[in-house]
Amino acid sequence: MISIKVDGAKLRRLRESRGLSVVALAAAAGLSKWAIYGIEQGRHQPSPTVYARMKQALAAVDADLEVTPEQAETTAEEVA
């Protein structure tokens, strides 16, 4: 299974650019608003199934939501 790491800030910007509220995205993706909030705030990462549903609801591609390699590197350095 492929592991996807979603950038919560990208998710929020994309959601807002599509004119969707947290509640509207949650409804379109079949999630709770708390699940969306948690992902946007970086507290949770979606499962592959949830990720696919969010992508579909936002008409997004992977690059719209994923953490970039540079971001992942920075995060790894901060943890070390």
CATH code, 73: 1.10.260.40
Count of structural domains within the chain? 1
Instruction: Tell me phi and psi for residue 21, to 5 degrees.
Output: -80, 170
Q: Is residue 71 part of a domain?
A: yes
- pLDDT digit of tens for each residue in the chain (80 aa)? 457 799 999 999 999 999 999 999 999 999 999 999 999 999 999 999 999 999 999 999 999 999 877 665 554 455 45
Helical H segments across the chain, by residue range? 8-17, 22-29, 33-40, 48-58, 62-65, 69-79
Domain limits for position 13: 8-79
**Is 1 a domain residue?**
no
Question: In this structure, are residues 4 and 46 in contact, taking their beta carbons and an 8 Å threshold?
Answer: yes
Which pLDDT score is estimated for 1?
46
Q: Roughly what angle, to the nearest 10 degrees, separates helices 22-29 and 48-58?
A: 120
Please tell me the predicted confidence (pLDDT) of residue 4.
77
